[in-house]
């Protein structure tokens, strides 16, 4: 059945709430409105306002109260309305949520999911197109997931809710209305492992989220030119599955990493460091990155070329292949 | 407990000379404060504080935030709790921890560098110390949301209804998170009591930096009652906390208590308070000492039968035993294993973290081999 990612996420929340009455949702406008992206559409009507809580407008309050709820035995799923609005909650996420298990010497888990729509490409105004994943991946004690399609959005969100660790769940907002087949009864993927989207032996092209279909399209074009590109979807940004990438690079000898987030200290830099440490002698070319630039996110009239698009990915792959 | 104005004196029933003023707001019967127990708790909690400072001076602790002078506020509040209630402390609630049965030796670990926590919060419903100012106010609000969803509020069953008591200082009043917590608690009418010990100083910043009205007065703007109480009067502190907790357990919603007191010692053992305040201020507050006030009451007038020489001699002996237990307990606190931080970061260790742990443990083992 072809389903939009937003509907798959809605179904996943619904199934999680049915399966465990300790699961509850907190966020701004998630009740009657169903959230600004409608991911929680209809859930307050079906589960009541005790379990689908329209919060006051305060992101620290959303995450801070979720910590208290988790200490009281609940499994809160927070919604942050937009990527650019998560920063008021960063204190609670970094100094409290991420550290609690360590501080309690493993005695107390905080099973909290923080859903955040991320990324650009929708012509949005300021603060609505950010890619904050590296901040979270840099923080020990958090898991960071980012699905790229409807089936994995359903599956990974369900796993995130069942997981006892705090999970930052990044939803690529321009993929919300991309459709794909969803089978709720399909076996779960391993949420710590990357997925080989398209096998190949000429170059490893690694990305995640909204860039997965774009990278796949670029690989299709390169295939017509005789280059067999392997596309890998990381899915998990923390922990990061370098093993799958290293295994791929050992076969291809070349690695290009694509992400929307700015380049410096991004996921790409981390992955490059890990791959060169493990596959130094198998590399045929320098590891290259194609990313957003080290500028604030630009006005939306500039975003098409600022973001890694098919052409920028092709250019970077060509550069790697020419070595 | 009328609404406060800048000139309103905090509500008090026990004066500095130990005279108790009759007031029908002082709870009676089973809700009454056990004065003898309160005296003992304040004296022993102060001894924990004194010993901890000594341990810091001897190099056994890296740091200690003293609560000297705040025993009345803390024992008053702590003795109003029921076992099913939950406490969210800052890092200075040593006397509340004492009242709620947390082993004081366990309080030392955080300051000795043997742990980032020190006790199991579920054992006593006393959560871990929170060092980031105000962060715990939101946790308290969330926990109170859980209590509401569990149906443990307003049932009328004294063993079931629960409330959350969260501590904060005057500095925390300026944190955004504290103000968010007030908004949430009010909008959802949550069973949470905010107990603000206004000890006049947030490190070097006087209360005037944080607020131009008494803390208690702020509550009205958020939509719940604020109470201003003499924080060095253990009987008054117990009375207002007892009433606020009872109201919260009954479904009456939040209260902000401002206990006006004074941090007699520097902020921590690393602070030098004479750089920002005069010693004469401290001398003035010493005349309002909460322990002296209660002892004066209990050794004279109507209450003079409550404690006698034998009681005081027993208590002195108990203090010495406690001090010895703290000294030996502190030195015996186990140092964590080098691998512990890796084990406790996530529930199951990711592959790369395992690699890092193995590398680190090999390094540590090799280094130990070299040293032995």
User: How far is it, in rounded angstroms, from Cα A26 to Cα A19?
Assistant: 18
Confidence at B91, pLDDT banded by 50, 70, 90 = very high
Rounded to 5°, the CA angle B324-B326-B327 comes to 65
**CA of B46 vs chain A CAs: smallest distance (Å):** 26
- Res. B48: pLDDT tops 50: yes
Residue B197, classed as helix, strand or coil, is strand
Could you say which of B187, B343, B352 has the minimum Cβ distance to residue A239?
B352
A150 phi and psi angles, rounded to 5 deg: -65, -45
Three-class DSSP category at B341: helix
Evaluate the CA torsion angle B233, B298, B87, B80 in order and state its sign: negative
How much is the average pLDDT of A294-308? 97
Task: Determine the Cα–Cα distance for residues A154 and A169; give it in Å rounded to an integer.
Answer: 12
pLDDT in tens, B186-201: 999 999 999 999 999 9
A contacts of B150 (beta carbons < 8 Å)? 72-73
pLDDT greater at residue B305 or residue A178: A178
User: What ipTM was predicted for this assembly?
Assistant: 0.96
Interface of A with B in 118-177 (CB under 8 A): 140-141, 143, 163-165
Please calculate the CA angle B94-B95-B96 and round it to the nearest 5 degrees: 95
> Confidence band (pLDDT; 50, 70, 90) for B303?
confident
Higher-pLDDT residue of A261, B5: A261
Query: Among candidates B244, B97, B240, which has minimal Cα distance to B164?
Result: B244
- Predicted confidence at residue A144, as pLDDT, reads 98
The 3-class secondary structure across B222-257, one letter per residue, is HCCCEEEEECCCHHHHHHHHHHHHHHHHCCCCCEEE
For residue B5, the tally of other CB atoms under 10 A from its CB is: 10
The pLDDT of residue B304: 77
Tell me which of A47, A68, A162, A163 to substitute to probe the interface with B (most B C-beta atoms closer than 10 Å).
A68
Q: Contact, B210 vs B178, CB < 8 A?
A: no
State the greatest distance between any 2 C-alpha atoms of chain A, in Å, as a whole number.
60
Whether the Cβ atoms of residue B59 and residue B65 lie closer than 8 Å to each other: no
CB contact under 8 A, B183 and A192: no
B7: pLDDT strictly greater than 60: no
Q: Which residues of B touch A64 (CB under 8 A)?
A: 135, 137-139, 141-142, 177, 180-181
> Percent of chain B at pLDDT above 90?
91
* Average pLDDT for A225-251: 98
Count CB neighbours of B118 within 10 A. Answer: 24
User: With pLDDT > 90 as the criterion, what percentage of chain A qualifies?
Assistant: 100
Q: What is the pLDDT of residue B371?
A: 75
pLDDT band at B112 (very low <50, low <70, confident <90, very high): very high
Phi, psi values for residue B333, rounded to 5°? -60, 130
Chain A window 223-282: which residues touch B at a Cβ cutoff of 8 Å? 239-240, 242-243, 274
Does pLDDT of A31 surpass 70? yes
Record the tokens describing residue B307, joined without a space. 């404690």
Element (H or E) spanning B202, and its range? strand B201-202
Is pLDDT above 60 for B94? yes
Radius of gyration of chain A (CA): 19
Catalytic center residues of A? 128
Mean pLDDT (whole number) for B269-281:
95
Check CB contact of B125 with chain A, cutoff 8 Å: no
Interchain CB distance below 8 Å, A99 and B116: yes
Question: How far away is chain B from the Cα of A162, in angstroms, using its nearest Cα?
Answer: 12
Whole-number Å distance between alpha carbons of B264 and B70: 8
Residues in chain B with CB shorter than 8 Å from the CB of A274 are: 352
CA distance B274 to chain A (A): 31
- The first and second tokens of residue B55, run together, are 């341990």
Half-sphere exposure in the Cβ direction for A257 (13 Å, CA): 24
pLDDT at B3 over 50: no
Flag whether residue B113 sits within 8 Å of chain A, measured between CB atoms. no
Which chain B residues are Cβ-neighbours of A109 within 8 angstroms? Answer: 347
How far is the C-alpha of A263 from the C-alpha of A269, rounded, in Å?
A: 8
- For B286, the token pair is 């010493």
Peptide bond preceding B138: is omega within 30 degrees of 0, i.e. cis? no
Residue among B298, B324, B301 at smallest CA distance from B309: B298
- The residue behind tokens 């955004």 is B176
Residues of chain B in contact with residue A107, where contact means CB-CB under 8 angstroms, are 120, 122
CA distance A12 to A185: 11
How many angstroms separate the CA atoms of A276 and A272, rounded?
Answer: 6
Tell me if A195 sits within 8 A of A233, measured CB to CB.
yes
Q: Is the pLDDT of residue A154 over 70?
A: yes
Q: Determine which of B139, B189, B356 to mutate to test the interface with A (most A C-beta atoms within 10 Å).
A: B139
What is the per-residue pLDDT for B5?
Answer: 44
- In this complex, is the C-beta atom of B177 within 8 Å of any C-beta atom belonging to chain A? yes
Chain Cα centroid distance, residue A220 = 24
Q: Is B371 helix (H, G, I), strand (E, B) or coil?
A: helix
The C-alpha atoms of residue B205 and residue B228 are separated, in whole angstroms, by: 21
- Supply the mean pLDDT for chain A: 98
* C-beta neighbour count of A226 within 10 angstroms: 7
pLDDT in tens, A54-107: 999 999 999 999 999 999 999 999 999 999 999 999 999 999 999 999 999 999
The two tokens of residue A230 are 């392997």
Q: Is it the case that residue B160 has pLDDT exceeding 50?
A: yes
Structure tokens at B174: 């300026």
- In this prediction, residue B369 has a pLDDT band, given cuts at 50, 70 and 90, of confident
Catalogue the long-range contacts made by A319-323 (C-beta closer than 8 Å, 24 or more residues apart).
A319/A288, A320/A203, A320/A254, A320/A255, A320/A256, A320/A285, A320/A286, A320/A288, A321/A202, A321/A203, A321/A227, A321/A254, A321/A285, A323/A254, A323/A284, A323/A285, A323/A286
Residues 6+ apart with CB under 8 A from B8: B2, B214, B228
Helix ranges, chain B (H):
35-57, 71-78, 94-99, 104-112, 121-124, 135-150, 176-187, 207-210, 215-222, 234-249, 279-286, 290-298, 309-332, 340-343, 351-371
- pLDDT at residue number B220: 97
How far is the C-alpha of A267 from the C-alpha of B38, rounded, in Å?
Answer: 56
Residue in the structure block whose two tokens are 């990313």 = A291
On chain A, the residues whose CB falls within 8 A of the CB of B142 are 64-72, 76
Contacts of B332 (CB under 8 A, 6+ apart): none
Question: Nearest-CA neighbor of A92 among A42, A56, A129, A142?
Answer: A142
What is the rounded CA–CA span in Å between residue A212 and residue A190?
18
> What's chain A look like in SS3?
CEEEHHHHHHHHHHHHHHHCCCEEEEECCCCCCCCCCCCCCCHHHHHCCCCEEECCCCHHHHHHHHHHHHHCCCEEEEECCCHHHCHHHHHHHHHHHCCHHHHCCCCCCCCCEEEEEECCCCCCCCCCCCCCHHHHHCCCCCEEECCCCHHHHHHHHHHHHHCCCCEEEEEEHHHCCCEEECCCCCCCCCCCCCEEEECCCCEEEEECCCHHHHHHHHHHHHHHCCCCEEEEECCEEECECHHHHHHHHHHHCCEEEEEEEECCCCHHHHHHHHHHHHHHHHCCCCCEEEEECCCCCCCHHHHHHHCCCHHHHHHHHHHHHCC
The residues with which B226 forms a beta bridge, in sequence order, are: B256
List, for residues B116-129, the tens digit of each pLDDT value. 999 999 888 999 99
pLDDT of residue B1: 42
Residues B344-370, mean pLDDT to the nearest whole number: 95
Give the C-alpha separation, A74 to A22, whole Å: 5
């Amino acid at each position: 059945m072809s389903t939009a990612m937003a509907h798959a996420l809605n179904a996943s929340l619904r199934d999680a709430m049915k399966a465990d009455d300790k699961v509850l949702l907190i966020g701004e406008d998630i009740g009657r409105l169903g959230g600004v992206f409608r991911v929680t559409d209809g859930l307050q009507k079906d589960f009541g306002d005790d379990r689908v809580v329209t919060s006051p407008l305060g992101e620290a309050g959303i995450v801070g109260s979720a910590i208290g709820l988790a200490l009281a035995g609940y499994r809160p799923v927070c919604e942050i309305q937009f990527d650019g609005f998560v920063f008021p909650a960063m204190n609670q996420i970094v100094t409290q949520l991420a550290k609690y298990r360590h501080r309690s010497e493993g005695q107390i888990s905080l099973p909290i999911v923080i859903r955040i729509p991320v990324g650009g490409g929708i012509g949005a105004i300021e603060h609505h197109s950010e890619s904050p994943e590296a901040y979270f991946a840099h923080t020990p004690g958090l898991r960071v997931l980012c699905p790229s399609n409807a089936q994995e959005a359903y599956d990974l969100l369900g796993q995130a809710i069942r997981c006892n660790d705090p999970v930052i769940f990044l939803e690529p907002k321009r993929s919300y209305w991309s459709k794909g087949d969803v089978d709720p009864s399909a076996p779960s993927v391993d949420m710590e492992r990357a997925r080989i989207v398209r096998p190949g032996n000429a170059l490893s092209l690694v990305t995640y989220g909204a860039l997965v279909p774009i990278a796949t399209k670029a690989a299709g074009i390169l295939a017509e030119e005789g280059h067999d590109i392997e596309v890998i979807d990381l899915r998990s940004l923390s922990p990061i599955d370098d093993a799958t990438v290293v295994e791929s690079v050992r076969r291809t000898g070349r690695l290009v990493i694509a992400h929307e987030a700015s380049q410096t200290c991004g996921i790409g830099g981390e992955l490059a460091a890990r791959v060169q440490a493990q596959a130094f002698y198998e590399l045929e070319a320098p590891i290259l990155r194609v990313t957003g630039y080290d500028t604030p996110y630009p006005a939306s009239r500039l975003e098409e070329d600022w973001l890694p698009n098919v052409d920028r990915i092709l250019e970077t792959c060509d550069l790697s292949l020419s070595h | 407990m009328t609404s406060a104005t800048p000139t309103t004196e905090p509500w008090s029933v026990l004066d500095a000379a130990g005279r108790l003023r009759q007031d029908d707001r002082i709870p009676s019967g089973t809700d009454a404060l056990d004065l003898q127990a309160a005296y003992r708790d304040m004296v022993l909690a102060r001894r924990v504080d004194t010993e901890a400072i000594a341990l810091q001076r001897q190099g056994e602790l890296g740091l200690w935030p003293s609560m000297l002078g705040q025993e009345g506020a803390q024992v008053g509040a702590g003795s109003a709790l029921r076992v099913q209630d939950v406490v969210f402390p800052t890092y200075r609630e040593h006397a509340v921890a004492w009242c709620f049965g947390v082993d004081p030796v366990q309080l030392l670990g955080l300051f000795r560098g043997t742990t980032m926590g020190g006790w199991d919060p579920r054992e006593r419903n006393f959560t871990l110390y929170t060092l980031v100012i105000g962060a715990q106010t939101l946790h308290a609000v969330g926990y109170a949301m859980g209590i509401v969803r569990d149906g443990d509020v307003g049932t009328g069953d004294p063993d079931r209804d629960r409330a959350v008591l969260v501590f904060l200082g005057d500095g925390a009043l300026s944190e955004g998170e504290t103000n968010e917590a007030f908004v949430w608690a009010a909008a959802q009418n949550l069973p949470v009591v905010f107990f603000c010990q206004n000890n006049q100083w947030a490190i070097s910043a006087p209360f005037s930096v944080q607020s131009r009205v008494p803390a208690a007065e702020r509550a009205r703007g958020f939509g719940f009652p604020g109470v201003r109480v003499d924080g060095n009067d253990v009987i008054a502190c117990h009375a207002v906390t007892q009433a606020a907790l009872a109201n919260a357990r009954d479904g009456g919603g939040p209260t902000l208590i401002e206990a006006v007191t004074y941090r007699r010692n520097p902020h921590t053992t690393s602070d030098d308070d004479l750089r920002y305040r005069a010693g004469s201020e401290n001398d003035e507050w010493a005349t309002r000492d909460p322990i002296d006030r209660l002892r004066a009451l209990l050794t004279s007038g109507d209450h003079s039968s409550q404690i006698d020489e034998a009681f005081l001699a027993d208590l002195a002996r108990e203090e010495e035993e406690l001090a010895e237990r703290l000294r030996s307990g502190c030195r015996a606190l186990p140092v964590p294993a080098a691998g512990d931080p890796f084990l406790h970061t996530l529930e199951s260790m990711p592959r790369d973290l395992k690699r890092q742990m193995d590398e680190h443990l090999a390094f540590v083992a090799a280094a130990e081999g070299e040293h032995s």
